[in-house]
Amino acid sequence: MTLSSDNLIGGARIPGGGAPWRGVEAATGAALEPAFASATSEMVDQACRLAAEAFDSYREMALSARADFLERIAHNILDLGDDLVVRCMSETGLPRPRIEGERGRTVGQLRMFAEVVRAGAFLGARVDPAQPERKPLPRPDLRLRQVAVGPVVVFGASNFPLAFSVAGGDTASALAAGCPVIVKAHPAHPGTSALVGAAIADAVAACGLPAGTFALLFDSGLAVGQQLAADPRVAAIGFTGSRRGGTALMRIAAERAVPVPVYAEMSSINPVVLFPEALAARGAEIGRAFVASLTLGSGQFCTNPGLVLAVDGPGLDAFVEAAAAALPEVAAATMLTPGIHQAYCTGVAALTENAAVTVLARGKAGGTNQGQPILFGTTGAAFLADHALAEEVFGATSLVVRCRDEAELRAVLEGLEGQLTAALHMDAGDHGAARALLPLLERRVGRILVNGFGTGVEVGHAMVHGGPYPATSDGRTTSVGSLAIDRFLRPVSYQDLPDALLPDALKEANPLGLPRRVDGKPA
Amino acid sequence: MTLSSDNLIGGARIPGGGAPWRGVEAATGAALEPAFASATSEMVDQACRLAAEAFDSYREMALSARADFLERIAHNILDLGDDLVVRCMSETGLPRPRIEGERGRTVGQLRMFAEVVRAGAFLGARVDPAQPERKPLPRPDLRLRQVAVGPVVVFGASNFPLAFSVAGGDTASALAAGCPVIVKAHPAHPGTSALVGAAIADAVAACGLPAGTFALLFDSGLAVGQQLAADPRVAAIGFTGSRRGGTALMRIAAERAVPVPVYAEMSSINPVVLFPEALAARGAEIGRAFVASLTLGSGQFCTNPGLVLAVDGPGLDAFVEAAAAALPEVAAATMLTPGIHQAYCTGVAALTENAAVTVLARGKAGGTNQGQPILFGTTGAAFLADHALAEEVFGATSLVVRCRDEAELRAVLEGLEGQLTAALHMDAGDHGAARALLPLLERRVGRILVNGFGTGVEVGHAMVHGGPYPATSDGRTTSVGSLAIDRFLRPVSYQDLPDALLPDALKEANPLGLPRRVDGKPA
């Protein structure tokens, strides 16, 4: 596969304009070939126009054909072979097993959404049959289905170059819903983006879909993303990244003549609560597992365990001792970009200089662009007194908060902003204390997990990767798992429409064999 | 039932502060007893605090008990008897059959949501069982349910004093979802609000629910609503009213430290498309039915047919002639408030003075606060040239747009903002033309109906009363029908939680007998 640095618009390769820029080898900072050029304003406009033109046709194609298209994308990504893996490793500094695993997840997501599309339950078909004899007024025939919202803009994420980037979860769920997608590639992995974008564009062509079904635009700055978010033809926005970036998009979307939903996954410190019995029984074991989760992928996960809470005592000492013993064995690892590395160093420095915070342990020092893991400690009182301690530092660092008692631990949790996950380490004797915290945690997080860490995000039907603001911009949704398709749908009701004019999903004979609710009941 | 003008907070009657104000008899402008006083800032704060305190307890009560509560509210409203009907007629100027019908709808909505709550499908329970043997990694046990978002603020609507006010669709769906509700009563019907509020408060007490489950606050101005919308304990907002009011709430909600969803149903002119064969066969008949829909309730419906589109020709002439013959027979009717009447007169005057618009017919002239129906006509070219012609004039007025051809009619529809409904009048020979418009209409409206008018909004499972902005602030939802409950829910996922700690909805034995999806499939 030759790597083309062109934008992909309407099935054509279109070179960008302005000053050329290059991807960077994460480990060395060396520039990578080829040079990229950012999409011009005219190209953004063209991509939006083509997406709007493709919309009606794409959203009404047969479900089975749409599923085939998603599977074709998966097939084409695998067909890229090692070229994709090597380029992705180079641009991100992530090791081969991680990239191969992420590729598997990406392909798996596309195939899961193909299944979801074939099954058709996502259409939420409802039929309330006419009751012509009803008194005092006859009831009309009413039928409802979910339709795609319109063209969707997806911003590739730096920390998941495959699974949350060009053909990642946002793209897969939006395409599954019936929305054309315009991806703004993340400039931290332009080559990876170009390869995957070509795989999608090839699938669009092979499946005979409208040319505007997919576009890929490059930009080293902010202009393309801002123009996309403001374009009146764009109906929704998917984003995974920083809080600053996500809230900027929320502002643009709210100030449009027609506001649109923004699904931004932004920041989370993912509290880990260690309960006394679990600590007493296996504090050291938990400490070692914690270090493994903390330092996975250089800590560059949205679900990284950035905060550990426990009531002070010998069990917590055992946890801390084991973690502090394990961490110095962990090598520094290359971070995704120099900017992320710099932000990590700044965040770590601020904590190091904070008088209320102590350094519990450090990992091995690293070289260029490598993040040195570091574990901090503080008290519940100090944490409650300083809001800065609750801010996310993206990377392999965490803060252990020793709480005086259960009430203080609860107060720390009450004071937290919305989070993606909370992890509880507990044994049977901890159930009462855990039960008391569950209502609070349900209000604060999207996923509550037990005796594990949030860093493995299963792609399934019961997964929620989302949470109250600012974990995400819209806590009513998830960006991972089959429920993510709901973000890109809206209901339309048809009253007394002749059967011949009804969409197949709602025809009386149910030719698609869909699960439907009739008078509110499954039928 | 004695009518108390006190605010209802935490089960207590609390007199407001500041200058007293009174409800007004719509027909005469005469002040009605008793005097009301607006809730103070402290009272708003107290209502929010109590709602937040009630939240965890209320949302986790047994589904059957929550359903009983909703039915108890319905029962209590009926128990208010004629006092409610008489007061409501007086405050709104709406006739007895309308108020009695609306009461039936209100009670029916509450009972429908009781059924929805008992059935439990709204919890969207999903189970992905553990796969401990899966390679390369075992799969955890994942379970998902929808939980209530938190305290909800509902703004009573002026035009539906029962069905979209204190115990209306927003309140019913939020309570059904498990959210405490704080209602800001509409000052156009304070007495009606007080009576219904007492019915809810009595149900809260009778069912032994937390006192903060419900509050009713009065205000003749904007301060209470603004404070409620900005309060950090409020998780969502329901509103039916003007575009100015709805967008003001959207701004407040977007600018909060933690933005929250606003479900505002704001403005719609509800295009009616008359196809040639239907016009040729029964243009006059459609014209008479149109006048009946247009003038129903003095035209004060969100779904009022404010725009009629057809290709020029003799069929359209017949329609216009019949409508113009029927309208002069229609009496002017009292409008909801002097302010709404004034706005209607202003809007009508602007159209009357518009050189591109002709008056086709007027209804009978009226007295104090009465709206005289009026039908206007223009051409497609004039409509396309003047955006002001697409603005809603709330009341019994509509604009017939004569289009040169199908292409011009389509252009008019393409240029419209989002709408609640589109009504199509068609015969068999019109199917082709209608089919060609459906994709466009699906993008513009929430409900497409055939050979009828949108003014009857059936409360059912397949109804969508919503639509793209600015028909509503959030076109992904409906404010009428059982699907409205989804507005007040968000998903939470539980990973490897011990069965004893899982909510009943997700326990392995499924003790609630809920419909659930297991590995994505109905089970």
Q: What is the pLDDT of residue B456?
A: 87
Residue B154: strand pairing partners: B183, B238
- In three-state secondary structure terms, B263 is strand
Rounded to whole angstroms, the Cα distance separating A408 from B190 reads 45
Which residues of chain A from 387 to 406 reach within 8 Å of chain B, CB to CB?
A: none
Hey, how many other C-beta atoms are within 10 angstroms of the C-beta on A86? Answer: 14
Q: Which DSSP string do the residues of A409-425 spell out, in sequence order?
A: HHHHHHHS--EEEEEEE
CA distance A340 to chain B (A): 26
Residue A510 has pLDDT above 70, yes or no: yes
pLDDT digits (tens, 9 = 90+) for A357-388: 999 999 999 999 999 999 999 999 999 999 99
Strand ranges inside A247-373, DSSP E: 262-265, 271-274, 307-311, 333-334, 358-362, 370-371
Are A500 and B431 a contacting pair at CB < 8 A?
A: yes
Residue B263 neighbours by CB under 8 Å, 6+ apart: B170, B236, B237, B238, B239, B472, B473, B474, B477, B479, B487
Q: What is the mean pLDDT of chain B?
A: 97
Reported confidence tier of residue A456, pLDDT bands at 50, 70, 90: confident
Provide the percentage of residues in chain B whose pLDDT is more than 90: 98
Q: What is the mean pLDDT of residues A24-42?
A: 96
- B126 CB near a chain A CB, below 8 Å? yes
**What length does chain A have?**
523
- Give the residue-averaged pLDDT of A183-204: 98
Q: In a 10 Å sphere around its CB, with 0-12 CB exposed, 13-18 middle and 19+ buried, how is residue A33 labelled?
A: exposed
Residues A211 and A200: their CA atoms lie apart, in Å, by: 11
The angle formed by the CA atoms of residues A475, A476 and A478, to the nearest 5 degrees, is: 80
Residue of B265, B392, B408, B417 marked catalytic: B265
pLDDT, tens only, B375-403: 999 999 999 999 999 999 999 999 999 99
pLDDT at A78: 98
Please check whether residue A316 is in contact with residue A274, taking contact to mean a CB–CB distance below 8 angstroms.
yes
Q: Is B427 exposed, middle or buried (0-12, 13-18, 19+ CB in 10 A)?
A: middle
Q: Report helix, strand or coil for B172.
A: helix
Count of CB atoms within 10 A of residue A379's CB?
A: 18
Residue A173 confidence (pLDDT): 98
Q: What is the pLDDT of residues B269-311, one digit of tens each?
A: 999 999 999 999 999 999 999 999 999 999 999 999 999 999 9
Rounded distance between C-alpha atoms, residue A333 and residue A296, angstroms: 9
Q: Which stretch of DSSP H or E encloses residue B38?
A: strand B31-38
The answer, for A72 touching chain B at a CB cutoff of 8 Å, is: no
Q: Is A439 on the interface with B (CB under 8 A)?
A: yes
Give the best residue of A443, A445, A455, A514 to mutate against chain B (max B CB count within 10 A).
A443
Q: Which amino acid is at A108?
A: G
What are the helix (H) ranges across B259-373?
276-295, 314-326, 338-353
Known active-site residue B329: no
Residue pair B172/B109 in contact (Cβ under 8 Å)? The answer is yes
Length of chain B in terms of residues written? 523
C-alpha A50/C-alpha A180 separation (Å) is 9
Q: Is 70 exceeded by the pLDDT of residue B413? A: yes
How close B283 gets to chain A, by Cα (Å)?
19
Partnered with residue B492 across adjacent β-strands are B145
Q: Does B111 touch chain A (CB under 8 A)?
A: no
H/E element, A284 = helix A276-295
Kindly report the average pLDDT of chain A as a whole number. 97
* Residue A519 near residue B461 (C-beta atoms within 8 A): yes
Query: Using CB atoms within 10 A of its CB, is residue B100 exposed (0-12), middle (13-18) or buried (19+)?
Result: middle
Contact call for residues B184 and B154 (beta carbons, < 8 A) = yes
Chain B nearest-CA distance from A244, in A, is 14
Contacts 24+ apart (CB under 8 A), B94-98: B94/B161, B94/B297, B94/B334, B94/B336, B98/B297
**pLDDT tens per residue across span B234-276:** 999 999 999 999 999 999 999 999 999 999 999 899 999 999 9
Residue of A254, A462, A522 with shortest CB distance to B515: A522
Tell me what pLDDT residue B232 has. 98
B232 DSSP assignment: T
Tell me what pLDDT residue A363 has: 98
Q: At B192, is the pLDDT very low, low, confident or very high (cuts 50, 70, 90)?
A: very high
| Residue A459 predicted with pLDDT over 80 | yes
Q: Is the pLDDT of residue B523 over 90?
A: no
B269 vs B250: CA distance, rounded Å: 21
Residue B2 has what pLDDT? Answer: 77
Q: State whether B498 and A431 contact (CB < 8 Å).
A: yes
pLDDT digits (tens, 9 = 90+) for A247-271: 999 999 999 999 999 999 998 999 9
Å from B517 to nearest chain A CA? 8
pLDDT digits (tens, 9 = 90+) for B434-480: 999 999 999 999 999 999 999 889 999 999 999 999 999 999 999 99
Mutate to test the interface with A, among B492, B507, B519 (most CBs of A within 10 A): B492
Cβ burial of A225 (10 Å; 0-12, 13-18, 19+) is buried
- For residue A52, give every residue at least 6 positions away whose Cβ sits within 8 Å of its Cβ, in sequence order, or none: A150, A151, A180, A212, A233
| Any A CB within 8 A of B305 CB | no
Contact (Cβ atoms closer than 8 angstroms) between residue A215 and residue A154:
no
Task: For residue B373, say if its preceding peptide bond is cis, omega within 30 degrees of 0.
Answer: no
Site of tokens 């017939």: B400
φ/ψ (deg, to 5) at A201: -60, -40
User: Which of A149, A456, A464 lies closest to B491 in CB terms?
Assistant: A464
Average pLDDT over residues A477-484: 97
Which pLDDT score, from 0 to 100, does residue A2 have? 78
Tokens representing residue A217 in the block: 């635009």
Of the candidates B150, B418, B452, the beta carbon closest to that of A140 is on B452
Active-site residue (options: B302, B403, B408, B417): B302
**CB of B215 closer than 8 Å to CB of B56:** no
Q: B210 preceded by cis ω (within 30°)? A: no
CB contact under 8 A, B483 and A463: no
Is the pLDDT reported for residue B67 higher than 80? yes
CB atoms within 10 A of CB A221: 11
Secondary structure of residue B309 in the 3-state scheme? strand
DSSP per-residue codes, A208-266? T--GGGEEEE--SSSHHHHHHHH-TT--EEEEES-HHHHHHHHHHHHHSSS---EEEE-
Distance CA B11, CA B360 (A): 54
**Residues of A in Cβ contact (< 8 Å) with B451:** 496
CA nearest to B514, candidates B505, A522, B522, B113: B505
Give the position of tokens 């059982």. Answer: B482
Flag if A452 and B60 touch (Cβ within 8 Å): no
- Of B1, B33, B17, B12, nearest to B218 by C-alpha is B17
Count CB neighbours of A116 within 10 A: 25
Q: How many helices (H) and strands (E) does chain B have?
A: 14, 23
| pLDDT for A1 | 59
A121 DSSP assignment: G
Give mean pLDDT, residues B72-82: 98
Contact flag B517-A144 (C-beta cutoff 8 Å): no
